[in-house]
């Protein structure tokens, strides 16, 4: 992998990730952009104890542009985009309309390919491996920022999810705090460690799923994917490396090599869940990584450390059946109590049925 860092016309950082070492990236952003100005701030909810990002400048962000004005396609002639070069493999840049910025963290955009009409599932294994390298490198880089406590790499795919740019891309959030979902996991890990005399909850979950087998979707030498026992979403898969590591930086070469094949197969199965002729399945793919600082908040008789957390990817869709979406209504949105119409065992069976031949 070759990494080339540059600056856009308004001062934002942009990084090219190329599979070939002989690629030269010297294109200059020719747009007449003013320096970026954001109003992002973090406010803490005193009742729930969580944090909310207030970012009024995002009201003016790009919204469903026509394909010939896509800001994530390469620049070509007089059509200038966020990417100055005329082609790219993978590129990462600071979001022009970030939810988090400055002392409140950082937001980046990850473009998986220059092909506007592709999706992640269309990538080759080499291309998917390069995206994994970019996620890993950005995790390492953002971990050095004093304003970042936790790094979240994710992809939203589909208009039903709320995606406003059709080009295949994801995002990376550098949060200035440990996210509420991660904090809940860590509390559960600490409680389990204390109750069992030191056992790891993540390890026990994976071992139970492997022993049961009914919710296993696919398994490789270094990765295992399953529908969780208490799945929140109609079709939801959790993908774990078999050797527990706290973040992407901890993956060994064998796991990194196998990941593209396993992940691409999962994504392609998702597009076949609802049968031939159905539009691409909308989904969210989310990497869960350990926060960077010491975990004093969760210390007790059985203190937890970063090494107690297990890196994993959660992939789910809001489509519950052909032509129907699952909306978060009263119970889910009002009380955070999910109601799932699809039994996890049935979801796993369907995802096994649509395996690539």
Q: Which pLDDT tens digits describe the chain residue by residue (357 residues)?
A: 999 999 999 999 999 999 999 999 999 999 999 887 777 889 999 999 999 998 876 655 665 677 788 999 999 999 999 999 999 999 999 999 899 998 999 999 999 999 999 999 999 999 999 999 999 999 999 999 999 999 999 999 999 998 889 999 999 999 999 999 999 999 999 999 999 999 999 999 999 999 999 999 999 999 999 999 999 999 999 999 999 999 999 999 999 999 999 999 999 999 999 998 889 999 999 999 999 975 655 555 568 899 999 999 999 999 999 989 999 889 999 999 999 999 999 999 999 999 997
Distance CA 130, CA 17 (A): 7
* 74 contact partners, CB below 8 Å, separation of at least 6: 81, 83, 85, 86, 87, 88, 114
Could you say which of 169, 192, 238, 312 is catalytic? 169
Other CB atoms within a 10 A radius of the CB of residue 323 amount to 9
* Cβ-contact 17, 93 below 8 angstroms: no
Unique residue bearing structure tokens 């004005």 = 69
Q: Which CATH superfamily is domain 2-32+69-175 in?
A: HIT-like (3.30.428.10)
Distance CA 147, CA 107 (A): 12
* Cβ-contact 86, 76 below 8 angstroms: yes
169 has catalytic annotation: yes
CA geometry: angle 137, 138, 140, nearest 5 deg: 65
pLDDT digits (tens, 9 = 90+) for 25-37: 999 999 999 887 7
Q: Which CATH number among 3.40.50.1980, 3.30.428.10, 3.40.50.720, 3.40.710.10 corresponds to the domain 180-353? A: 3.30.428.10
Q: How is the chain split among helix, strand and coil, in percent rounded to 5?
A: 30, 25, 45
pLDDT digits (tens, 9 = 90+) for 267-315: 999 999 999 888 999 999 999 999 997 565 555 556 889 999 999 999 9
Q: Detail the residues annotated as belonging to a binding site.
A: 70, 73, 116, 167
3-state secondary structure 132-143: HHHHHHHHHHHC
The pTM of the full predicted model, rounded to 2 decimals, is: 0.94
Q: Of the candidates 170, 340, 348, 345, which has an alpha carbon nearest to the alpha carbon of residue 270?
A: 348
Domain ranges of the chain: 2-32+69-175, 180-353
- Integer-rounded Cα Rg, in Å, for the chain is 21
Q: Detail the residues annotated as belonging to a binding site for Zn(2+).
A: 70, 73, 116, 167
């Amino acid at each position: 992998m070759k990494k080339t860092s540059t600056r856009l016309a308004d001062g934002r950082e942009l990084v090219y990730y190329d599979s070939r070492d002989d690629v030269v990236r010297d294109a200059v952003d020719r747009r007449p952009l003013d320096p970026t100005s954001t109003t992002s701030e973090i406010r803490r909810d005193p009742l729930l104890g969580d944090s909310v990002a207030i970012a009024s400048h995002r009201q003016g962000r790009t919204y469903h542009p026509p394909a010939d004005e896509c800001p994530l396609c390469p620049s070509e002639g007089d059509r200038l985009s966020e990417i100055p070069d005329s082609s790219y493999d993978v590129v990462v840049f600071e979001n022009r309309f970030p939810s988090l910025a400055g002392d409140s963290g950082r937001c980046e955009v990850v473009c998986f390919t220059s092909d506007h009409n592709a999706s992640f599932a269309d990538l080759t294994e080499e291309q998917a491996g390069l995206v994994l390298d970019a996620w890993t490198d950005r995790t390492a880089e953002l971990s050095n920022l004093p304003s970042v406590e936790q790094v979240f790499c994710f992809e939203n795919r589909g208009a039903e999810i709320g995606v406003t740019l059709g080009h295949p891309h994801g995002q990376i959030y550098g949060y200035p705090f440990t996210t509420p979902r991660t904090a809940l996991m860590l509390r559960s890990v600490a409680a389990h460690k204390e109750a069992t005399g030191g056992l790891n909850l993540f390890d026990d979950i994976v071992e139970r799923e492997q022993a049961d087998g009914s919710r296993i979707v696919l398994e490789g030498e270094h990765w295992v994917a399953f529908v969780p026992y208490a799945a929140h979403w109609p079709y939801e898969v959790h993908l774990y490396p078999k050797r527990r590591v706290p973040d992407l930086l901890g993956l060994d070469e064998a796991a990194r090599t196998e990941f593209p094949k396993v992940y691409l197969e999962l994504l392609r199965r998702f597009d076949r869940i609802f049968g031939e002729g159905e539009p691409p399945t909308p989904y969210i793919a989310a990497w869960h990584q350990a926060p960077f600082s010491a975990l004093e908040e969760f210390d007790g008789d059985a203190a937890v450390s970063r090494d107690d957390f297990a890196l994993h990817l959660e992939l789910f869709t809001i489509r519950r059946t052909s032509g129907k979406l699952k909306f978060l209504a009263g119970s889910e949105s009002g009380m955070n109590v999910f109601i799932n119409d699809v039994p996890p065992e049935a979801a796993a069976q369907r995802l096994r049925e649509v395996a690539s031949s």
